[in-house]
Copies of this chain bind each other. A is one copy, B any other.
Amino acid sequence: MSIVLGPNQYGKAETRVVRVYRDTPRHEIRDLNVSTLLRGDFAAAHARGDQANVLPTDSQKNTCFAYAKQKGVGAIEDYALDLARHFVAGIGPVSGARIDVEEYRWERVSVDGRPHPHTFVRAGDDVRTTAVTAEDGGRAWVISGLDGLVVMKTTGSEFHGFLKDRYTTLAETTDRILATSLAARWRYRAWPPPDGWDAAHAAIRQILLERFAEVHSLALQQSLWEMGRAVLEARADVAEIRLSAPNRHHFLADLAPFGLDNPGEVFHAADRPYGLIQCAVQRDDDPAGEAGPAWSGPAAFA
């Protein structure tokens, strides 16, 4: 038996790249948080501190900025694919690269009802994401998604008929608030999407919102399944979708001591603990491959 180096990777995390397009008076912006991770032949760096194979993380950061000019920043998936392929093809010891990008949403400020050409206001809490992995030999994966899509239904949610054990005290209910901060990740099996990356993302976000609204929910599990299934039904280019949803509990305030009834009107929004419901919706002819990338981000390694 001996002690050996296992899986390892390194890169530059959270480079905040802002790209402005100012070719016309009506500016456009892309506001990104970019992380790079390289895999390859880095054993000597671990064993002896020999850096001959190690491209500095500072150079990776420089590449993120340079590519924002050289290649431009359109859809984050294209930008991440360019970067991932560059590191794999251009840096000898690198056999695989993962690029994670978050994009912040902005909308134009309206002045006298007209969108302003160069002034923007942050729109919405949710963040668009992509994780692109490329490997030697040309294989690549694109897993796009969103984080922090905060939604709430004030009715149309039930919870009853559940399994009861000796520690069960929860009352059943046929009408409750259902609230969550959704994280979603979906894997494209063909790209670019026929409608383009930006339109595809917007369409999937809208499907998730609409199905959350329309499904009469007997369980958050059911809502998630229906949301995921609707995405796969609508999008032949999506192989799989994974959903993670904290159940942000809203407890009915007990107003009886004060002589007041409370028919679903006044709630306490709790922070912790929260339920956590997670599921994948897949195609039976294209399950997530064993050799595929981790769905979670770079920080999840340890």
Contact = CB atoms under 8 A, between A and B. Distances in A.
B69 A302 contact: no
Interface residues on A, range: 35 or more
A246 interface: yes
A8 B221 contact: yes
Contact of A268 (B17, B22, B55, B232): B17
A233 interface: yes
A159 B210 CA distance: 46
Given A16-B273, A255-B65, A274-B12, A111 B214 contact: yes
A118 B157 CA distance: 11
Nearest to A15: B273
A52 B151 CA distance: 27
Name A's interface SS. mixed
A199 interface: no
Contact of A221 (B1, B49, B284, B294): B49
A168 B119 contact: no
A200 interface: no
A185 B299 CA distance: 13
A245 to B, nearest CB: 9
Interface stretch (A74-82, A132-140, A190-198, A285-293): A285-293
B161 A50 contact: yes
A6 B280 contact: yes
Contacts of A35: 273, 276
Interface in A42-72: 42, 45-63, 65-66, 68-70
B46 A221 contact: yes
Nearest to A262: B69
Contact of A8 (B59, B106, B278): B278
Contacts of A294: 300
Interface string A225-266: 100010011000000101110110010010101101011111
B5 A281 contact: yes
A291 B50 CA distance: 34
Contacts of A49: 158, 217-219, 221-222
Contacts of A10: 221, 275-278
A149 interface: yes
Given A60-B167, A122-B126, A296-B299, 19 more contacts: A1-B286, A4-B283, A5-B282, A6-B281, A7-B280, A10-B276, A13-B273, A14-B272, A45-B221, A51-B160, A51-B218, A68-B265, A110-B209, A118-B153, A119-B154, A119-B156, A121-B152, A295-B300, A300-B300
6 contacts: A13-B273, A29-B154, A49-B218, A119-B212, A183-B302, A278-B302
